Structure 1
């Protein structure tokens, strides 16, 4: 049985506005160069306040806007529990799957299954073909008090850090605010075209666009599908074939103009009359965060920019960064909030230094992204 545990905390350091959530996290103290990328230190304080039995670390950092003051934040593998002197107790459990938080202005709450003593993923799947499986969060939207969210089905094959594989994409609907699962649909298209649909979801002119990569080694071309919301459910799917939209998912073609391998987790969203792709270069030891711009949801993409190099790779060979995501609902002063995840191959470090397993945030000027 899924339960919602509310652990509220106030972060006095944030610059807050109930009417403009983007103002929550401004770190600007004086005018700066219009093309300067700035580190934002306030969002992580909002999402990971001090306390007990709340989220203390996780990856993913996927946000879904609810309204102008609230957003869901979805996390993959996560830690809950007490932290002292930047260390977590050795008994702290790493929760494999999906943990959610609700950020409402300056208040954050943890949403999960199980109990505070034994927390579990909010949505579980059990086993697939006899193997342990779990759900990693992707992206979605909230409409008419229904949360629409995509999940990756991940299947365990052993005890090693890389002993798993992507199995399927599932589309869930949950009632809001009680977060009970209404239904689930396993997408058929990925089995036919090998595209991992579920990221970069947004509505535009009556269609909901859903993006995904088709991994082939380190190559991962980007594809897009679209659907209509009919009776509060996505239906009438179509797939971009390079020229037009086709109901046959096998006709999908990769979008043109993207010059880096897109990471499994990425963002696509509309900004004014442009469409923006934010991705981190795919791979373990890559530091580049890139943006691309298009005039249509299906591309072609152009104006590639390496907007940031993550500095954490300089800390040692065990550290890596990945999964850059955009959070346009937190725009402030013409700057886009982008997160990226940090992790380590050396598991004890996650207990000895809690700060490692938390996302980092930067603010990137739209002028840097859009200017040619």
Structure 2
């Protein structure tokens, strides 16, 4: 496995060196009673055609989405392949590779934003003065405040020459102008061992923006929760949920749910707070599940399987499933998930492999359940 492929794997929060790849191919769907799932053909065809023909963005992971003030939608990506897809549907070996990018979808017209130039693209947001082979940002969830796009940043640093020698070092927030995605500022957040930005929920009732994070112990992952007055993600002090209370001490943040992936979503759906995630209670799981709660702080219970990813098996794995409440409706969760391979050759042989997948999950749940 190359360093590049390993970086993609570790983004999924999977210790590739210690987990055998033995999973069999999964069925297309495996849903609980009252739930059905199907491929979202509109998003699949839109992004697939763009990736294959635009000569720009050919695939990425992460895939958060946020509506912009002009009505368009920003898709927020971490590791990204640029360049062209060749006549055999593969990627050339010299395809540019970035750690983050954004695509803006304006009524079906897609535009990719990166740093650098079109001929020599670079990550959209880079650690100031750093060599990106040694220090970089991956993107977390995003929101719009005061007309500006705020994107959560997770900073990683290389710690040695080995492929596993890098670690999470801190959190920050990027502020970008949504008109052209130009970077206006990067605001560092207080030191924390939590990867903040796994999900963002803005509560219109209590005036807070809630930011979920992950305590990533590789085999075990736990969700944590912070909040800040809405509109002040970068200007006010955060509070952290700690055993039923809110505290200013980031080190006191407590676990609210075990078994989440590094990226997930939290939204109001059919009367309950609904957390959608890949099932991280088992290694290399093909399952996408949801948990529900009457309160933003939990407890999140009633684990329900929504979908089983058909791609999972052999060297291929799926990860970081999340819902996009800005795209769904009262009875439908629009969910994306990422696809990757532990064999880096696969990512070049088949450009369509390393791209998000999109599904619609229709749920008829009891209100208030």
TM-score band by shorter chain is 0.7 to 0.9
Is the alpha carbon distance of 1:69 and 1:131 closer, same or farther for their aligned partners in structure 2, counting shifts above 3 Å?
closer
Contact preservation (8 Å) 2:60, 2:354:
yes
Shift of 1:94: 2.0
Flag structure 1 segments of 5+ consecutive residues without an equivalent. 1-32
Whether 1:78 aligns to 2:80 is yes
Q: Which residue of 2 aligns with 1:224?
A: 225
Distance in 2 (alpha carbons) for counterparts of 1:209 and 1:347: 36
- Alignment map for 1:168-247 (pairs within 5 Å): 168-190=170-192, 194-204=193-203, 205-229=206-230, 233-247=234-248
- Which residue of the partner structure matches residue 3 of structure 1? none
Shift of 1:68: 8.1
- 1:222-243 CA distances to partner (integer Å, 9 max, x unpaired)? 1100001466844131111121
Asked whether the equivalents of residues 140 and 202 of structure 1 are also in contact (C-alpha less than 8 Å), the reply is: no
The Cα RMSD (Å) is 2.5
CA distance in 2, matches of 1:327, 1:183: 26
- Measure how far apart 1:58 and its partner are: 0.9
Aligned residues: 331
Whole-angstrom distance in 2 between the partners of 1:308 and 1:137: 25
What are the within-5 Å matches in structure 2 for residues 221-370 of structure 1? 221-229=222-230, 233-255=234-256, 258=257, 260-271=258-269, 273-282=271-280, 285-314=284-313, 316=314, 318-332=315-329, 334-367=331-364
* Kept in 1: contact 2:126–2:132 (CA 8 A): no
Q: CA deviation at 1:300?
A: 1.3
Question: Aligned equivalents of 2:243 and 2:324: distance in 1?
Answer: 28
Q: For 2:366 and 2:80, locate their aligned partners in 1 and report how far apart those are by CA, in whole Å.
A: 32
Change beyond 3 A, Cα 1:118–1:339: same
The equivalent of 2:59 in structure 1 is 57
Q: Take 1:234 and 1:309, find their aligned partners in 2: how far apart are those partners?
A: 41
Q: CA 1:272/1:70 → structure 2, altered by over 3 Å: closer, same or farther?
A: farther
Closer, same or farther in 2 for the Cα pair 1:296/1:333, shift >3 Å?
closer
Given that 2:187 and 2:234 are in contact with CA atoms closer than 8 Å, whether structure 1 keeps it comes out as no
Cross-structure match for 1:47 = 47
Look up the match of 2:126: 124
Partners of 2:289 and 2:367 in 1: CA distance: 12
Question: 1:164 corresponds to which residue?
Answer: 166
1:145 corresponding residue in structure 2? 147
Equivalence for 1:155: 157
Normalised by the size of structure 2, how large is the TM-score? 0.82
CA contact (8 A) 1:312 1:319 kept: yes
Aligned counterparts of 1:360 and 1:369: Cα–Cα separation in 2: 28
The residue that corresponds to 1:9 in the other structure is none
- Distance verdict in 2 for CA 1:133–1:293, change over 3 Å: same
For the residues of structure 1 that align with 2:199 and 2:366, how far apart are their CA atoms? 17
Q: Which has the higher contact order (CA 8 A, sep 6+)?
A: 2
2:113 matches 1:111? yes
CA shift digits 1:126-148 (9 cap, x unpaired): 56699711110001201322111
| 8 Å contact from structure 2 (residues 270, 331) kept in 1 | no
Structure 1 residues 130-139 or 350-359, which shifts more? 130-139
Q: Deviations over 1:78-123 (max 9, x none)?
A: 111121331222221222x101100112111000011111111111
What is the TM-score normalised by the length of structure 1?
A: 0.82
